[in-house]
Amino acid sequence: MMHREMICRDRRGVVAIEAAIALALVVVPTVLALFDLGGLLETRLRVDRALQAGMFAAWAISGASASQITGAAVAGAGNANGSPTVSATASFTYLCLAPTGTYASGSAAASGTACPSGQVLGEWAAITASAAVTLAFPLPGVASPMTLTATGLTRVQ
């Protein structure tokens, strides 16, 4: 009889069981989520780098074509093996605007158009870089694959 009471009162393994439950329900999912977050942040930086490289090419290369800008953006992303591939697109907009005007104050025009007196023709490049990221450990309510996108607009020199 005495032996049975000793077994019921022995609680030496309770802490180990509680720690195992906490580890399985809290710590492991948190570590897996951090793994996905690291991948997302790395891809976000590559998408931003691609946009920056494309905008610099549009600004720095006189007469750059959309394909040159797109190529510079993709090269700037540093697409590596196993990484989500970053893609880019570029397009041009032409506006007639006052010499001190901004994109928002301009009126649409075609390339080579003669603008009204006192206005100049401005060429603008719109660049979009994006990458689709598939989460290694998808969470409920979080889309996978997730598309990360960056867009920018710069005046062409």
Residues 6+ apart with CB under 8 A from 100: none
Share of residues in the chain with pLDDT > 70 (%)? 90
The answer on pLDDT for 35 being more than 80 is: yes
Mean of pLDDT values over 136-153 = 86
Res 7: pLDDT? 56
Q: Residues 130, 89: contact at Cβ < 8 Å?
A: no
Mean of pLDDT values over 75-90 = 84
The answer on pLDDT for 81 being more than 70 is: no
Phi, psi of 11 (to 5 degrees): -120, 25
CB crowding 47-64: b at 16 or more within 10 Å, else e: bbbbbbbbbebbeeeeeb
The answer on pLDDT for 55 being more than 70 is: yes
Share of residues in the chain with pLDDT > 90 (%)? 34
User: Is 142 or 127 the better-scoring residue by pLDDT?
Assistant: 127
Handedness of CA 84, 85, 86, 90 (dihedral sign): negative
Mean of pLDDT values over 137-155 = 87
User: How do 87-97 and 107-109 pair as beta strands?
Assistant: antiparallel
Q: Mark residue 7 as left, alpha or beta (left: phi above 0; alpha: psi -120 to 50; beta: remaining).
A: alpha
Mean pLDDT rounded to a whole number for the chain? 85
The answer on pLDDT for 148 being more than 90 is: yes
Q: Residues 86, 127: contact at Cβ < 8 Å?
A: no
In this predicted model, what pLDDT tens digit does every residue of 8-30 receive, in sequence order?
566 677 888 888 888 888 888 77
pTM, two decimals, is: 0.76
